[in-house]
Structure 1
Amino acid sequence: MDPRSSAQDVHRCALCETAIAQSYCDFCHVNLCKPCIGEHILDGYDKHKVVPFQQRKSTLIYPKCKTHTFKHCKFKCKNCENFLVCSSCVASEQHGGHRFEKLSDIYKTKKETIDNDSKELVNCISPSYEEISLDLENQLANLDGGYERIRTEISKQGDQWHKEINCIINRMKTEINEIKMKHRDDLQKQLDEIRKTQSLIKQTFQALGDIQESTEVIKTIEYRSQVRDFSKLPHMVQVSLPTFIPKPIDHEKMYSLFGHFTLFSTDTKENTSSLNLQNTSVREILNEPELVVTLKTESYNNYPRNVTCLRDDKIWANDETDNIHCYTINGTILQTIKTKSGTLAYDIAVDSSGNLLFLDGTNTVYIVKNGQTEELIIFQGWLPSKMCVTSTGDLLVTMYSYCIDMTQSKVVRYSGSTEKQAIQFDDEDKPLYSGNSKIKYITENRNHDICVSDWAAGAVVVVNQSGKSRWRYKHHPSVIKNKPFKPFGITTDSQSHILTADRDNHCIHILDQNGQFLRYIDNCDLKDPYGVCVDNDDHLLVCEYNRNGNIKKMKYLK
């Protein structure tokens, strides 16, 4: 039964406070009975939106236009950096020839994201943190019993000794008490951190509830999901109790032979059961991808190669010069970084803090923080080719051996400047990647698969997080795309699709996470696609490697 119509949930009129409400003002958010509607709208009918009670909160509240005071903005101009416009603005010369998107469509999409985030917080993330919290509470509850057993063993050993060694027993009990306090402090500290995160999750969920109940468009479209921040569970604390090991009595070495403790240690065990968030917001691929905007870069005659972004309003791209430019979507340059070598950057990336990373001819990864360029990794022996930043903040780098024929290639994972993992061979000890080309773009998928576009092999090579081979995509049979498949840039989206640039056939291949071909993106007058990336809204950015120096932003998901 609908709770709004049940006997135990009768809604009364907000004006007379006695009659049952049959109507609702979506603008003022008040319940109204039929006799009270007239009184409510006395100050102007156009100021109110009275709807049947069952349809309450169905009217969207649009922001007022800053230019045309008596109109509301129902569109977003794609050409003017998310500028909100009304119908009069749309018809004005200022926005002549521009493309627009309905705010109601953006509102609907964001509402779905908010609903999904709420479900993930309630059904998946919060219970997982609760489980960790309970485990820490149990360790604390059992702490006294565990340490009391050790004290008992010490006493039993002490009973076998003469009274003159009682001082040694007391000394060792004092030591174990100090260890216990350290143990307690470590567990309590971890529990406090977990409870703090739980509080943040609760606050986030409450905030999501407020947005869900709200019909204010601005609040909804400005929402930014924090679910991925919480989805990486903290390390599990595994604290081992010391063990008392008695020794045979030797009066000459009473203290040293009485016994000793194993070292107290707090081991943080990585939680391998990282949450697999259910992607309930499934977005289908458009039959005909749409060109959103063409970004004219400073790379005319210099051939743009790589593109990356963290937010829609900041797009980093480089060409065959020593310049790396940060653009707005309209092509305005916000910042320019010069490579240290004075030659082109082999690849560029952006970390979760928005810092630019780049590889250049010095065989070094540099990071740009607050306008200052610093060395992050200096390579020796093997030379770097391409790189990407993972969801956990690690850096994946494709590398090749420094020899005449370049017969070996591998993928290396770095945490900061420390090498954590090397991926080179399959289960049969055969090379995963071709050894005769530097062109091996790399990206990480949402399921943590590592995806490499191997140009020389004419394949997309995918391994799992542990480096075990999953699948290899060679090409899709087509009478239209008849040139050999030689992939360049590669990226992934929120649906775990893999998109790779096929420069010679002037198209983008879209694959699912299991390597199945889904479709081509080959319209919008796409020419010579090279570097690619996907922004937060699943728009595809493509560098066209030709003298025009264009970067095209395309919408390919519904």
Structure 2
Amino acid sequence: MSEPPDEQAAKQHYLVCGIEDCQKNGQFYCNDCHRPLCEQCREEHLKSPKTKTHEIVLNRHRKQQLPVEKCELHPTRNVDMFCTECNIPLCLKCSIKEHKGHEYEDLEEIYAEKYAAWQSEFSKIQKYSLPTTEELKSDIENDVTEIKKIMESIRTSMKTEAESLKNLVDEVTSENVEHTHTMEKSLLKMLRSQETTYDEYMAYLGKMSDEFQKYLSLTNQKLMFSEVLKIQPIPETTKPVPPLFTAGHVNKDDVAKLLGRVYVPNTKPDKRKIQSMEAVTTHMKSTEKQLEQSKEKSDMKQTLSLSSSVTKVREYTVQGVNSAWHVSGDKSDRLWVSDYRGNLVQTDLQGKQLQKIQTSGGDGYHTATQDGDLIYTDKHKKVIYRITPDKKITEFIKTGDWEPFSVHSSSINGDILVGRTIMEEFVPDWKQKLDFWSLSLRRVAKVTRYSNTGKEIQNIQWDNQGQELYSQPRYITENINGDICTSDWKKHAVVVVNKSGQHRFSYTGQGSGFRPYGICTDVLGHILVCDRVSETVHLLDQDGGSLSIILSPQQGITFPRGVCMDDENNLYVGQHNTNTVTVYKYLQ
């Protein structure tokens, strides 16, 4: 899509003054002469009797010159008028002859109005409609990913539920079969007992048969006086009642009810949120302001260098904290300071307490934004909060199962960088070798990038070899080149990745023993980090090279914990054993 002339002109270094032989910057524009003017020629233009009534404006407010077009009826004349009765453009000669007595308007005025309207609509497309539509499309892509994830989770749950039901069926079937064996054993025992009864009765009958034969063999009359023998009746027994099996009447619907069902809830879907043009315009102005500040820092970078010595500028005591484990500089000459007990205090540069909040505590868990807000984490509630300058606290981001440890607001684009951890189950190697299946817990970590509206846009966890980058990212910051610099206490290292998440280097101190705490960067791209072991502040270049120990106990500092920079390139240092924050100058 081609750009309109004024957009193209805006990309030039400057417009040259239109007055002959003048090569100065034509920052003004004469809408009557249609040419740029420098400041001096503008003054002369306004003094000249011929041009003193001309409309002179800034270049960005200039009217567009009417394109030259010849009249079809009068080819020697330019079309520069508009007949409001006939609704057609025409030349001066047409107005005298064919349109005599009609009302006219300046065609150039109409063209300028139309051009401004078209330019406004074109600007809306470029600056609002297209970016907003692309963001909506991105939201749809995220929804596609989320729907796939949800459906896969549902399928997994279905399979798990089915497997559970199959196990229950197997268990019940096994119990029923075992019960039939018990019943069979009981019935057979009863029948064996009846067999024994009849065996005993048959033995009794044999014995009685022999007795009767003895009596029958007598030939005398003694038989007449003998008692008549009576035979015991045949014992009664019962037939077994065979068990019956009642088959279950389970159909497909019954099984479906047991296994659950998947359905779309009868809920009215939410409309996708479309940012208003006012919100986008405000964001654009904020971005332009950030670009201006970035340019100022770039210009400053050309004149600054490391000083040969470090100078103590001032120090002040912060009421409401017993130490200064982390410090965040505010743009309004204010400072946020926190201790390890969870006290978070806003103070001015005279040490006067302006605001105090009780938090869950931590290390580098708060950061000031370009808009003057403060963002801080609550690792227990797994929530990130935002405090506006009017002291209103709102829930900004929920981090799910992950504990947010450290946070930093980017001065480049307003993104929010968060160091997060979670306890995860795993099987240690030694247990695998022993073939001993037992789970243990370990803490895993990653750095997550959120937009300034709280939308998750990037996760950084692994290096190119698939190794974990972080263990406990307690402090986090960003360098001028977009590098993400993390102070990882457990890894004994400052871990640095580029803005794409690729591992650049890890700084592990000088010599043995290194426990990094507070970390920040300056306008020259230096990285400054506190070391608990040596009680020093290290100064690195942006590629991880050690430049110097910038502060040590020799400068009167002990247990440095938190560091930050202000807009005047002063270094603020907080310490573990005191609530005094000390300010140093090391750039000149």
The structure showing larger relative contact order (alpha-carbon pairs under 8 Å, at least 6 residues apart) is 1
Q: TM-score scaled to structure 2, two decimals? A: 0.46
Q: Normalising to structure 1: TM-score of the pair?
A: 0.49
Q: Name the one with the larger helix percent.
A: 2
Larger radius of gyration: 2
